[in-house]
């Protein structure tokens, strides 16, 4: 509409990832250098992460446009694939012909085709690079298969190089203990941050100039407003700048001014003023999740995705009398509608489940020969029929039943939990961690499909657990969980009276009085105070002692793990894995 008015040859602020408009800030140059390294490194993974809209896809498209002639590129844009679909896509991307007369496309057949093709191209002096965009959407099973692709090699070199691009959730996912084999093969990684203020101004001028317009069309104040309202995210800059150009055209002005930029942001984002672009990003993400994953029940609350630590850290979360919570380096804080409390997991021990061989790989007997004639182990954790939401709902219902807390099929579990005096806490750890918590949990399971399914662990005995999956109870051990469970679980825990969040020195209220009384009884000490409902120095010292004795980081903050430890040590009736009641 405004192209002729500004004499543009093309739109300067399209949100399409057009490599011809690539602006190389210092950070983008560093990211591009890592990508170029990934094209030439001898095997392994290159990992590029960045927030939504920072330009990762534009960078990779620019790189692909200039790849050397001796490189074959397989570019996967939609990673929501099963293992079999991933292998089929790779074969199609690399132009590998189908040579199986039976039309079979088993995983083994596809890997054999890939291996033969890679050996043939290697003999011709060519190299192969697999690039996967939006890699945070890869399931653990597919990530494991991608890792196994790096095992395709000759005596001298790896036959395939892999570049993963994704949002920060990708790095969080790879921080899990069961992903350590893949992480050990990451040869380079880089996090692409947002543009600085100066870069944002230069970015706007760069795109205006490439479109054939006046690079100074935005006043200095208007460019600063675009940066402030977008947070330096290139995609948001494009949205605001495009709308601002339209507003300037409507008013018949020669240049874009700050007032029009603010109005453009209001029109684009539907808010009075976008003074907190990060809030916009979080809100938009929450809306997408709410529409696209209506039964992502465990995410409908506040959760930490914490990497395993050598000890438990009581990390503050926001309460009604606290302005904000401090996020530790080891975790990423996310906010969603329901208050799921959270903090770092218990100390981790070697994960027998994830260290075991995949079920599809035959074990080697003591004699050393492959057990080719042994019967295939029975998979006790087969995905039940129905949609993933069915298994998730059934798993939560089983855990709520153990708490004698009724829940209706229409209730969102972690939204419903506070109504019955409970909270949800999402953790990542091992089977030993769950046994140590001694509470029923919901675990996230995976097979070769792109969506997880769920089971409830209700009891443990002799190194095994009783699980409920799809309406049936099964007895499983670490060997059964291997290849299905990657450490993610949610535990319900009982709130103290009038719970509002984590407690720290200076807080007041009934939860503080409850904490004081419980610590006095547990530690057999005198904690009487003039104001029992105030969190004072003596109470903090007692809490630190309790945390130290229970293997936590003694930070003096009472969070969910503290409450769980207190509940576990109390005589109050509550469901325990150890007795199965």
- Spelled out in words, what is the top-level CATH class assigned to the domain 26-192? alpha beta
| Domain residue spans of the chain | 26-192, 203-278, 296-315+326-356+380-496+575-581
The two three-digit tokens of residue 267, written as one number: 């029109």
Predicted local confidence at residue 315, as pLDDT: 37
**Which CATH topology does 296-315+326-356+380-496+575-581 take?**
Cathepsin B; Chain A (3.90.70)
Residue listed under structure tokens 């020195």: 505
The two three-digit tokens of residue 436, written as one number: 């140590």
- Enumerate residues 6+ apart whose C-beta is below 8 A from 266: 272, 273, 274
Tens of each residue's pLDDT in the chain, 581 residues:
678 888 898 999 999 989 889 998 989 989 988 888 888 777 778 999 999 999 999 999 888 888 888 889 999 988 888 888 889 999 999 998 876 555 567 888 888 889 899 999 988 888 899 999 999 998 888 888 888 888 888 877 888 899 999 999 998 888 887 788 888 888 888 999 999 999 999 999 999 989 988 888 999 899 999 999 999 999 999 999 999 999 999 988 889 999 999 999 999 887 544 344 444 444 444 444 443 444 344 344 433 333 333 344 443 333 333 333 332 333 322 223 333 333 333 333 333 233 333 333 333 333 333 444 455 567 889 999 988 788 999 999 999 999 999 898 888 898 888 888 898 988 877 888 888 888 999 998 888 776 789 999 999 888 899 999 988 999 998 888 887 887 889 999 888 878 878 899 999 988 899 899 989 988 999 999 999 999 999 999 999 999 988 888 788 999 888 888 887 655 567 888 887 64
Whole-model pTM? Answer: 0.55
Q: How many CB atoms lie within 10 A of CB 376?
A: 8
DSSP E strand boundaries for 293-343: 303-306, 312-313, 331-334
CA distance readout (Å), 512 to 505, 534, 573: 10, 6, 22
> What is the edge-to-edge ordering of all strands in the sheet holding 160-166?
71-76, 127-132, 160-166, 45-50, 186-192
- Enumerate residues 6+ apart whose C-beta is below 8 A from 99: 113
User: Do the first three CATH levels of 203-278 and 296-315+326-356+380-496+575-581 match, i.e. the same topology?
Assistant: no
The two three-digit tokens of residue 246, written as one number: 């339209």
- Enumerate residues 6+ apart whose C-beta is below 8 A from 393: 295, 297, 409, 413
Q: Helices (DSSP H) in 447-559: which residue ranges?
A: 478-481, 510-523, 537-549
Predicted local confidence at residue 396, as pLDDT: 94
Q: How many CB atoms lie within 10 A of CB 64?
A: 16
Q: How many CB atoms lie within 10 A of CB 289?
A: 15
Interstrand relation of 312-313 and 331-334 (parallel, antiparallel or unpaired)? unpaired
Q: Do residues 300 and 412 lie in contact, with contact meaning Cβ atoms separated by under 8 Å?
A: yes
The two three-digit tokens of residue 461, written as one number: 């005995």
Q: Do residues 543 and 519 lie in contact, with contact meaning Cβ atoms separated by under 8 Å?
A: yes
Distance from C-alpha of 568 to C-alpha of 575, rounded to nearest angstrom: 10
The two three-digit tokens of residue 367, written as one number: 């004699």
Q: Do residues 466 and 580 lie in contact, with contact meaning Cβ atoms separated by under 8 Å?
A: yes
String of DSSP letters for 25-60: -HHHHHHHHHHHHHHHSSSSEEEEEE-TTSSHHHHH
The two three-digit tokens of residue 508, written as one number: 């007041």
Helical axes 220-230 vs 258-269, angle rounded to 10°: 30
Collapsed DSSP state (helix, strand, coil) of residue 467 = strand
Max CA separation in the chain (angstroms): 86
The domain 203-278 is classified under which CATH number: 1.10.3470, 1.10.8, 3.40.50, 1.10.1760?
1.10.8
Distance from C-alpha of 206 to C-alpha of 209, rounded to nearest angstrom: 5
Predicted local confidence at residue 580, as pLDDT: 61
292 burial level (CB within 10 Å; 0-12, 13-18, 19+): exposed
Distance from C-alpha of 399 to C-alpha of 458, rounded to nearest angstrom: 7
């Amino acid at each position: 509409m405004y192209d002729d008015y500004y004499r543009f040859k093309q739109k300067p602020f399209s949100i399409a990832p057009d490599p011809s408009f690539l602006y190389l800030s210092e950070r983008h140059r560093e990211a591009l250098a890592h990508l170029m390294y990934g094209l030439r490194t001898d095997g392994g993974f290159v990992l590029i992460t960045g927030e939504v809209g920072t330009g990762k896809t534009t960078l990779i498209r620019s790189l692909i446009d200039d790849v050397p002639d001796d490189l074959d590129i397989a570019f996967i844009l939609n990673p929501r694939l099963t293992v079999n679909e991933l292998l089929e896509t790779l074969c199609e991307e690399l132009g590998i012909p189908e040579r199986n007369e039976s039309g079979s496309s088993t995983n083994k057949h596809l890997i054999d085709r890939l291996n033969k093709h890679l050996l043939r191209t290697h003999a011709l002096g060519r190299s192969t690079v697999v690039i996967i965009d939006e890699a945070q959407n890869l399931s653990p099973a597919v990530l494991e298969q991608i890792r196994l692709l790096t095992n395709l090699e000759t005596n001298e070199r790896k036959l395939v190089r892999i570049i993963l691009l994704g949002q920060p959730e990708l790095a969080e996912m790879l921080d899990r203990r069961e992903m350590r084999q893949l992480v050990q093969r990451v040869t380079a990684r880089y996090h692409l941050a947002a543009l600085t203020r100066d870069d944002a101004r230069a970015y706007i001028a760069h795109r205006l100039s490439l479109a054939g317009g006046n690079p100074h069309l935005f006043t200095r104040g208007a460019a600063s407003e675009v940066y402030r309202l977008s947070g330096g995210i290139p995609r948001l800059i494009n949205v605001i700048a495009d709308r601002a150009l339209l507003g300037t055209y409507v008013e018949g002005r020669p240049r874009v001014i700050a007032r029009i930029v603010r109005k453009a942001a209001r029109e684009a984002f539907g808010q009075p003023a976008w003074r907190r672009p990060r809030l916009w990003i979080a809100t938009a993400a929450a809306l997408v999740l709410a529409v696209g994953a209506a039964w992502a029940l465990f995410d409908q609350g506040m959760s930490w995705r914490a990497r395993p630590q050598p000890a438990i850290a009581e990390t503050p979360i926001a309460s009604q009398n606290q302005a904000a919570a401090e996020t530790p380096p080891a975790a990423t804080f996310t906010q969603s509608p329901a208050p799921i409390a959270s903090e770092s997991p218990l100390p981790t021990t070697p994960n027998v489940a994830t260290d075991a061989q995949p079920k599809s790989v035959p074990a080697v007997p003591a004699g050393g020969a492959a057990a080719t004639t042994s019967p295939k182990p029975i998979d006790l954790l087969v995905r039940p029929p129905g949609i993933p939401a069915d298994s998730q709902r059934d798993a939560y219902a089983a855990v709520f039943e153990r708490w004698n807390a009724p829940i209706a099929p229409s209730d969102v579990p972690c939204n419903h939990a506070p109504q019955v005096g409970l909270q949800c806490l999402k953790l990542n750890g091992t089977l030993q961690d769950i046994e140590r918590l001694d509470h029923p949990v919901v675990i996230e399971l995976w097979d070769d499909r792109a969506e997880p399914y769920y089971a409830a662990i209700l009891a443990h005995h002799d190194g095994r657990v009783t699980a409920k999956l799809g309406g049936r109870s099964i007895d499983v051990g670490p060997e059964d969980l291997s290849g299905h469970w990657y450490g993610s679980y949610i535990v319900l825990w009982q709130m103290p009276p009038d719970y509002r969040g984590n407690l720290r020195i200076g807080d007041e209220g009934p939860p503080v009085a409850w904490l004081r009384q419980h610590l006095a009884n547990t530690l057999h000490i005198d904690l009487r105070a003039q104001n029992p409902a105030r969190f004072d120095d003596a109470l903090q010292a007692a809490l630190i002692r309790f945390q130290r004795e229970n293997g936590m980081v003694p930070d003096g903050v009472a969070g969910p793990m503290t409450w769980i430890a207190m509940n576990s040590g109390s005589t109050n009736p509550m469901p325990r894995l150890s007795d199965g009641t």
